[in-house]
């Protein structure tokens, strides 16, 4: 018998734990809770910078519980956040993270972008990136 008694839910929980473990390891975090906080912050800030159709399409590609994190509390504005500067993106992530978070928000963004690229279809991820300003597209690249 499965852990929760429902095979589909067990798979969903297992897949979520795989994502959180990847975040935890990539960012050198001490717990799954910290990994959840980093993933949530970056996904929310990313989501709010996309046109609605792109944001919805991107969310559908995520595993079920990760999708729930992504859509959590979303009240899409008529227009996405227009700031095109990396500093604003990072500042917004910083505001979403709990106080005294052990990882710099820029490092968190880079790590999450890399995990998204690895776990999602690269072609679909590249389509998403095409809707973002160049400085945000470059978050997937290692820091120079």
What is the CATH classification number for the domain harbouring 74?
A: 1.10.490.110
Q: Is the pTM of this model over 0.95?
A: no
User: How high is the pLDDT of residue 83?
Assistant: 64
Give the chain's domain count.
Answer: 1
Cβ neighbors of 92 (< 8 A, separation 6 or more) are 45, 48, 81
What confidence score (pLDDT) does residue 129 get?
86
Q: What is the domain range of residue 115?
A: 7-140
Predicted local confidence at residue 77, as pLDDT: 63
Residues 6+ apart with CB under 8 A from 24: 30, 31, 32, 34, 35
In a domain, 1, yes or no: no
Q: What is the pLDDT of residue 97?
A: 97
Please indicate, yes or no, if residue 53 is contained in any of the structural domains.
yes
* Mean pLDDT, contiguous 10-residue spans, the chain (144 residues): 66 90 96 96 91 88 91 74 80 95 96 92 84 84 52
Within-domain flag for 45: yes
Identify the pLDDT of residue 93. Answer: 96
Domain-located, residue 2: no
In a domain, 103, yes or no: yes
Looking at residue 143, what is its pLDDT? 47
**CB neighbours of residue 133 within 10 Å:** 15
Work out the burial of residue 65: count CB atoms within 10 Å of its CB; fewer than 13 is exposed, 13-18 middle, 19 or more buried: middle
SS3 at position 70: helix
Residue 46 lies in a domain: yes
Query: How far is residue 41's CA from residue 86's CA, in Å, rounded to a whole number?
Result: 15
Residue pair 65/16 in contact (Cβ under 8 Å)? The answer is yes
To 10 degrees, the CA torsion angle through 107, 105, 45, 47? 20
Specify if 56 maps to a domain.
Answer: yes
The pLDDT value recorded for residue 5 is 66
Residue 65 lies in a domain: yes
């Amino acid at each position: 018998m499965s852990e929760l008694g429902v095979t589909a839910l067990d798979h969903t929980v297992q897949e979520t734990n795989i994502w959180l473990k990847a975040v935890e390891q990539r960012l050198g975090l001490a717990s799954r809770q910290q990994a959840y906080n980093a993933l949530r912050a970056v996904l929310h800030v990313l989501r709010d910078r996309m046109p609605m159709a792109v944001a919805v399409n991107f969310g559908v590609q995520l595993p079920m519980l990760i999708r729930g994190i992504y859509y959590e509390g979303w009240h899409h504005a008529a227009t996405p956040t227009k700031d095109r500067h990396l500093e604003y993106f990072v500042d917004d992530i910083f505001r979403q993270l709990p106080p005294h978070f052990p990882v710099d928000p820029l490092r968190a963004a880079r790590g999450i972008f890399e995990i998204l690229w690895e776990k999602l279809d690269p072609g679909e991820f590249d389509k998403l990136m095409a809707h973002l300003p160049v400085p945000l597209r470059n978050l997937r690249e290692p820091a120079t």
